[in-house]
Amino acid sequence: MDNILLNAHKGFGYLELILITLFIIVLLVTSLGYSGKINKLLRKVTLFTMIFFHIQLLIGIVMLVLKISSGMDMGGLMKNPALRFQFVEHPFSMLIAAVLMTIVNKKVKTNDTLTLKIFFMSVLAIALFAFAFPWAKVFGL
């Protein structure tokens, strides 16, 4: 069960990386555009980025609960930077990024033009994602 969840989480992780990259490109094109008008593509990309954040959140929470209920040593974990990143900083930062992306999606759906507030919330969500994504583990750096 752990392995199935971990592989699913990793697989959706790659997909989310592609979606976030698309989101950054479309966000920049829209914000640098003359009118800043929100188009269908930005709405679609934001929606799918949010959906896969929610899926990752669900799988992530189940993985965390399974780990904690299998008797994970929390004290030892906090002292170990790699474990602390994987089981505290990664889930927590990705959770905040998921909340921000949910708000951004709602605003992108209801607004006609891209406001500074939407832009900065998106940048914060992207920054948290970039911090929390386990690059070394995924790309074997």
- Please identify, using beta-carbon distances, which residue of 16 and 26 lies nearer to ligand HEM: 16
Instruction: Give the residue ranges of DSSP H helices in 33-89.
Output: 40-69, 74-79, 81-84
Binds ligand HEM by CB under 6 A, chosen from 27, 90, 108, 114: 90
Site residues (CB under 6 A) for ligand HEM, limited to 98-127: 98
Please identify, among the stretches 23-31, 72-80, 91-99, 110-118, the one whose residues bind ligand HEM according to the rule CB under 6 A: 91-99
The answer to whether 118 and 104 are in contact (CB under 8 A) is yes
Minimum distance of ligand HEM from residue 117's CB (angstroms): 22
Q: Confirm or reject binding of residue 23 to ligand HEM (CB under 6 A).
A: no
| CB neighbour burial string for 72-111, b if at least 16 within 10 angstroms, e if fewer | eeeeebeeeeeeebebeebbebbbebbebbeebbebbeee
Minimum distance of ligand HEM from residue 113's CB (angstroms): 27
